[in-house]
Chain A
Amino acid sequence: LAKTTQPISMDSYEGQEVNITCSHNNIATNDYITWYQQFPSQGPRFIIQGYKTKVTNEVASLFIPADRKSSTLSLPRVSLSDTAVYYCLVGVTAAGNKLTFGGGTRVLVKP
């Protein structure tokens, strides 16, 4: 699993767009980029996964540049309920593999 670096924390306000960038310089050809969201005392929840360019779903967008050495999770128009820790994982992230979650990015959305 590729090593990832992401900011420790970010603050935002309701209605703003939040962008979290994850660096993964040693990403391998077959690696996917996966983001999870975790609320306190709950299990992580899958948000989005991508391989290249842009992926969008009802919750977020994931932007991946051509060199794939970084990726940006974009949360449009955040609300207070988006306050959580967001984890970026790079590699084969199914449960049957040895995996390491980094420290994640703690996002605080203020009123």
Chain B
Amino acid sequence: EAQVTQNPRYLITVTGKKLTVTCSQNMNHEYMSWYRQDPGLGLRQIYYSMNVEVTDKGDVPEGYKVSRKEKRNFPLILESPSPNQTSLYFCASSSVNQPQHFGDGTRLSIL
């Protein structure tokens, strides 16, 4: 089954404790992207990637890192999480010029 898989789905952690949210897709898509969604603010893009080793900043990249060492994986790294990064996160992937497939989301709570 074609899918975008995010892990974990839920996480409660504390300020400053590094965490990684993994994203994996099994559709051989070139493109991948991370979004966060907050009440009243809609979906905001954090980072996106056009291919392996090619990443770029979206609208809200501060406090986040990404890497794209393999085509199928696009982890989101919070080196020193803060409470303002409490949010619902989505990973997405697509082929060139095709609509995006989204994961089921990761709900992060940072205390």
Bound CA span A95–B49, Å = 8
Q: Is A102 an interface residue (CB 8 A)?
A: yes
Interface centre among A95, A98, A99, A101 (most CB of B within 10 A): A95
- Structural contact, B42 and A102, CB atoms closer than 8 A: yes
Q: Is A93 an interface residue (CB 8 A)?
A: yes
Interface size on A, residues (CB 8 A): 24
Tell me which of B44, B48, B95, B105 contacts A43 (CB under 8 A): B105
A100 and B59 in contact, given A93-B100, A94-B100 (Cβ under 8 angstroms) = yes
- Structural contact, A94 and B31, CB atoms closer than 8 A: yes
B11-65: which residues lie under 8 A (CB-CB) from chain A? 29-33, 35, 42-45, 48-51, 56, 58-59
Chain B residues positioned under 8 Å from A81 (CB to CB): none
- Structural contact, B48 and A49, CB atoms closer than 8 A: no
Chain A residues positioned under 8 Å from B59 (CB to CB): 98, 100
- Structural contact, A98 and B56, CB atoms closer than 8 A: yes
Bound CA span A95–B43, Å = 13
B66 CB to nearest A CB, Å: 13
Secondary structure type dominating chain B contacts:
strand
Secondary structure type dominating chain A contacts:
loop
Contact flags B89-109 to A (C-beta < 8 A → 1, else 0): 010111111111111110100
- Structural contact, B43 and A97, CB atoms closer than 8 A: no
A56-109: which residues lie under 8 A (CB-CB) from chain B? 87, 92-104
Q: Is B78 an interface residue (CB 8 A)?
A: no
Chain A residues positioned under 8 Å from B77 (CB to CB): none
Question: 15 A-B Cβ contacts within 8 A?
Answer: A44-B90, A92-B97, A93-B99, A94-B100, A95-B48, A95-B100, A96-B96, A98-B56, A99-B33, A99-B58, A100-B59, A101-B44, A101-B45, A102-B42, A104-B42
State the A residues within 8 Å of B (CB): 32, 34, 36, 41-46, 49, 87, 92-104
Leading 10 A-B pairs by shortest Cβ distance: A43-B102, A96-B31, A96-B50, A95-B31, A101-B43, A46-B99, A95-B33, A95-B94, A94-B94, A95-B100
